[in-house]
Amino acid sequence: MVTMITVENLTKTYGAFTAVDDVSFTCKPGMVTGFLGPNGAGKSTTMRIIAGLTPAGSGSATVSGVEFGRVPNPGTQVGVLLDASAQHAGRTGREILTLSAMTMGLPMSRVDEMLHLVSLTPEESKRRVRNYSLGMRQRLGIANALLGDPQILILDEPANGLDPAGIHWMRTLLRGYADRGGTVLLSSHLLHEIEVIADEIIVIGQGKIIAQGTKDELLQASGALVRAGDDTALSVALSAAGITSTPRSGGGLTTEAAPEQVGKVAAAAGIPLIELRPAESAGLEEMFLQLTNESQREGSASAAAPAQTVGAQA
């Protein structure tokens, strides 16, 4: 059985509002796929549809070739963590894992294995979840997702609430999982963590795929990043030379021309440069801001679509 996530022409509307608009992508075994986008871009809705929690309007989302609802004993095939704060607050961490293990027909020894894996102590496992920090809830949620030893993981903001040591732990865990052949779909606002761990990246904005490909493909864009004493004058000079430039967040310009060309135009126009470097060194944050600059919803999604709770940063 091929353990892939396949999304084809997926669309979801809420009245006149389109939350997901003709989205298609594939998450392959042995890879961590980073799912990026501004708030309200459609990430959580897409992941909920994949996990069978929200019906699609049109198109399809399958895991291992079938819809999630048709997967036999799904917890042993697909591990899901979409909201660590949605766990039963009145139960203990151990009770939550025990009930999941019973549902999946797993030995109780698996509960202890997972508690140890996510570093929840015996004392902590006996506390009620209402007394857990967000970071502890995330660890418990990851333990629950991994309990059935699935081949696919779907995680929405799993680092939310984790301290730096916890984030490093999660990164190592997911990298090892993928290296053993597992398939990971990971949504996160921590761009550096995605840059470190992801093999492939999907960027979504206003419900549409803006860009997708391997990390190297997306980060090795041609062109130059330049900052001048007068960016406006440089933009005019570049335009006169037939070179298109785009303002960057925080100042400066991005252009598809090589740094040498940009430098010659600036020198000819007598414009001193503060910074000039190849675009590929911009990093994931710069790429993300450029790609999503025109697709920010600025809160419109929360007003138009049903609320989807995500745990707040601790």
CA-to-CA distance for 179 and 29, rounded, in angstroms?
Answer: 9
Question: pLDDT tens track of the chain, all 314 residues?
Answer: 567 999 999 999 999 999 999 999 999 999 999 999 888 899 999 999 999 999 999 999 999 999 999 999 999 999 999 998 889 999 999 999 999 999 999 999 999 999 999 999 999 999 999 999 999 999 999 999 999 999 999 999 998 888 989 999 999 999 999 999 999 999 987 777 788 899 999 999 999 998 899 887 776 656 888 999 999 999 999 999 999 998 987 789 989 888 999 999 999 999 999 999 887 545 677 677 766 776 665 444 433 444 333 333 33
Pairwise CA distance, residues 51 & 63, whole Å: 9
Tell me what pLDDT residue 289 has. Answer: 74
Residues 211 and 227 in one domain: no
Look up the CATH number of the domain holding residue 86: 3.40.50.300
pLDDT of 221 reads: 58
Same structural domain, 200 and 260: no
Same domain, residue pair 202 and 144 = yes
Note whether 190 and 230 are same-domain residues.
Answer: no
Whether 303 maps to a domain, the answer reads no
Same domain flag for 77 and 205: yes
Q: What's 254's domain CATH number?
A: 3.30.70
Instruction: Quote the number of domains for the chain.
Output: 2
pLDDT at 282 (0 to 100):
53
Tell me whether residue 16 is in a domain: yes
Question: What's the residue count for the chain?
Answer: 314
Asked if residue 308 is part of any domain, the answer here is no
Q: Does residue 311 fall inside a structural domain?
A: no
pLDDT given at position 314: 34
Asked if the structure places residue 306 within a domain, the reply is: no
Dihedral pair phi/psi, residue 111, rounded to 5°: -60, -50
211 with 233, same domain: the answer is no
In a domain, 299, yes or no: no
Considering only CA atoms, which of 153, 207, 233, 216 is closest in space to residue 45?
207
pLDDT digits (tens, 9 = 90+) for 60-98: 999 999 999 999 999 999 999 999 888 999 999 999 999
Domain that holds residue 232: 222-281
The answer to whether residues 122 and 234 belong to one domain is no
Q: 227 and 201 in one domain? A: no
Whether 206 and 227 map to the same domain: the answer is no
- Residue 292 is assigned to a structural domain of this protein: no
> In sequence order, which residues have a C-beta less than 8 Å from that of residue 45 and are 6 or more positions away?
12, 19, 20, 54, 305, 308
Identify the sign of the CA torsion 213, 214, 215, 220.
negative
What confidence score (pLDDT) does residue 296 get? 60
114 part of a folded domain: yes
Q: For every residue of the chain, which 3-state class applies, written as one string?
A: CCCCEEEEEEEEEECCEEEEEEEEEEECCCCEEEEECCCCCCHHHHHHHHCCCCCCCEEEEEECCECHHHCCCHHHCEEEECCHHHCCCCCEHHHHHHHHHHHHCCCCHHHHHHHHHCCCCHHHHCCEHHHCCHHHHHHHHHHHHHCCCCCEEEEECCCCCCCHHHHHHHHHHHHHHHHCCCEEEEECCCHHHHHHHCCEEEEEECCEEEEEEEHHHHHCCCCEEEEECCHHHHHHHHHHCCCCEEECCCCCEEECCCHHHHHHHHHHHCCCEEEEEEHHHCHHHHHHHHHHCCCCCCCHHHHHCCCCCCCCCC
Residues 180 and 253 in one domain: no
Say if residue 196 is in the same domain as residue 135. yes
Same domain, 64 and 111: yes
